[in-house]
Amino acid sequence: DIQMTQSPSSLSASVGDRVTITCQASQDINNYLNWYQHKPGKAPKLLIYDASNLETGVPSRFSGSGSGTNFTFTISSLQPEDIATYYCQQYDNLPTFTFGPGTQVDIK
Partner 1 sequence: QVQLVQSGAEVKKPGSSVKVSCKASGDTFKNDAFNWVRQAPGQGLEWMGGIFPLFETPNYAQKFHGRVTITADIYTSTVYMELRSLRSEDTAVYYCARAKISHMDVWGKGTTVTVSS
Write out the residues near partner 1 by the rule CB under 8 A.
1, 32, 34, 36, 38, 43-46, 49-50, 55, 85, 87, 89, 91, 94-102
Phi, psi of 57 (to 5 degrees): 90, -5
* Closest C-alpha among 86, 51, 55 to residue 70: 51
Q: How far is the CB of 36 from partner 1 (least distance, A)?
A: 7
Nearest approach, Cβ of residue 49 and partner 1 (Å): 4
CA 53 to chain centre: 12
Q: How far is the CB of 26 from partner 1 (least distance, A)?
A: 15
Asked if residues 52 and 96 have their Cβ atoms less than 8 Å apart, the reply is: no
Give the separation between CA 4 and CA 24, rounded to whole angstroms.
6
Q: Which is nearer to partner 1, 49 or 62 (CB)?
A: 49
